[in-house]
Amino acid sequence: MHKQTVQYLVGGIFALVIAMGIGRFSYTVILPYMQDTFAFSRSTAGFLATSNYLGYFIGALVAGRLQIGDKRIPFLQITLVISILTTAMMSFTDAIFAWYLLRFISGVMSAFIFVVAASLVLDQLARNGKAHLSGLFYSGVGTGIALSAVIVSPMHAMFDWNGTWIALALFSVILLVFIIFFIKPVTQHTQQQSRQTVASQKVPPSTWMKWLILAYSLEGLGYIVTGTFIVSIAEESTSFHGDAAFVWFVVGIAAIPSCIVWSKLAQRYGYVRTLLIAMLFQGLGIILPAFATNTMTLYTSAFIFGATFMGITTVATTLARQIVPVNSHQILGYLTAGYALGQMFGPSLAGTIANYTNSYQYALFGATAVVVVGAVCLIGGLKYEKVKVGELDAIRE
């Protein structure tokens, strides 16, 4: 593989570790410690998450309209710096309002970084005929989740909840240095090859994009309930015996290879079909703790959740980029905005329901139903997939 392509991949993975694994999802594993310290309610926890996802939604909308062209790399670097600062600043205040503001800004930066890094890395892969390696890039989220789960518990034991945020920010600074060295501009000549490579793929027409956006938006609404509360569910369960933070570690470990696995399956059996199956499988993982919250059930739920949520993102965003290959950061922005809109409402709705019923059970039932409905929205796209086993590989070669 071309040296610059490898560097883009590694840099992109590190960017996702900073923006998503740490900036966005570390909140899930730090949340129980903050609740223990400040005794705020489940609904407050949900609204804090929602403020982050509101920022993510607005960031994704704006990212879809950005006319940054050859300014994507400096834009990525600036947003990474701001993301790291919002992570660090969580430690310097215990005011709920300040947390709302910081989580909101962090959400905006996460969306910018996700969309711009994805467009940079996917373009680089495509122009070198390596689009099928997109799963490696998306594994950065799982890597970040697993790292944050490993870092948070010992950091909390030594420095309490606020020192944990600082430790995560310092770790992010180290990764940022590598990103600056690895992701550098490429020549205009190779940009043209990118469009030709992607355009040769067999995918649904652009008119079908509305169904993909709807399905992906419902995925955002459903998956985020588990993504926000699974550690708290383990923490509160009397039948769970183990470290609740380890549940989040299982999510991260399962997420790392999942992007590559689902990407391979999509190439072999079709993107729409694979996406539909992944969402139904995820529904099973979400609903399991609604029936029992013992150790085995929660670990199984965490594994299925980790094995699907980034795989779904990998397949959906790769499919969107293949349907609309020109100005990829714009279509990725709109797709991500739909996803962000869904996940913006998920935590606050689930937190309010859990508060009212004194249980996460009904919130999990609702989340499962939403993801299944999202999967059903994809059924109409199956008719466009007349790709036989191995045909996409033949096209690519």
- In which region does residue 202 sit, left (phi positive, over 0), alpha (psi from -120 to 50) or beta (all else)? beta
pLDDT by 10s per residue, the chain, length 397: 788 899 999 999 999 999 988 998 888 888 888 888 888 888 888 888 889 989 988 998 888 787 777 789 999 999 999 999 999 999 998 899 999 999 999 999 999 999 899 889 988 888 888 877 888 898 898 888 888 888 888 888 888 888 999 999 999 999 999 999 999 987 654 444 444 444 445 678 888 989 999 999 999 999 989 988 898 899 889 999 888 889 989 999 999 999 999 999 998 889 999 999 999 999 999 999 999 999 999 999 999 999 999 999 989 988 888 887 766 677 788 898 899 888 888 888 998 898 899 989 999 999 999 999 999 999 998 888 764 444 444 434 4
Domains detected in the chain: 3-396 (1.20.1250.20)
DSSP per residue, 161-203? HHHHHHHHHHHHHHHHHHHHHH-----THHHHHHHHHHHTS--
* CA angle (337, 339, 341) in 5-degree steps: 65
Q: What is the DSSP letter of 359?
A: S
Q: Which two tokens stand for residue 224?
A: 């985020």
Q: Say which residue the tokens 């369960």 belong to.
A: 237
Separation between Cα atoms, residue 326 and residue 316, nearest integer Å: 16
- Tell me, what amino acid is at 11? G
Separation between Cα atoms, residue 172 and residue 261, nearest integer Å: 27
Q: What was the pLDDT predicted at 277?
A: 97
Query: In Å, what is the CA distance from 315 to each residue of 115, 134, 273?
Result: 15, 9, 10
Selection from 58, 36, 42, 160 nearest residue 106 by Cα? 58
Q: What was the pLDDT predicted at 196?
A: 43
pTM for this predicted structure: 0.81
Q: What was the pLDDT predicted at 82?
A: 97
Q: What is the DSSP letter of 93?
A: -
Q: Which two tokens stand for residue 28?
A: 């899930």
Q: What was the pLDDT predicted at 366?
A: 95
Separation between Cα atoms, residue 295 and residue 311, nearest integer Å: 25
Q: What was the pLDDT predicted at 6?
A: 93
Q: What was the pLDDT predicted at 326?
A: 67
Q: What was the pLDDT predicted at 187?
A: 61
Q: What are phi and psi of 243, to 5 degrees?
A: -85, 120
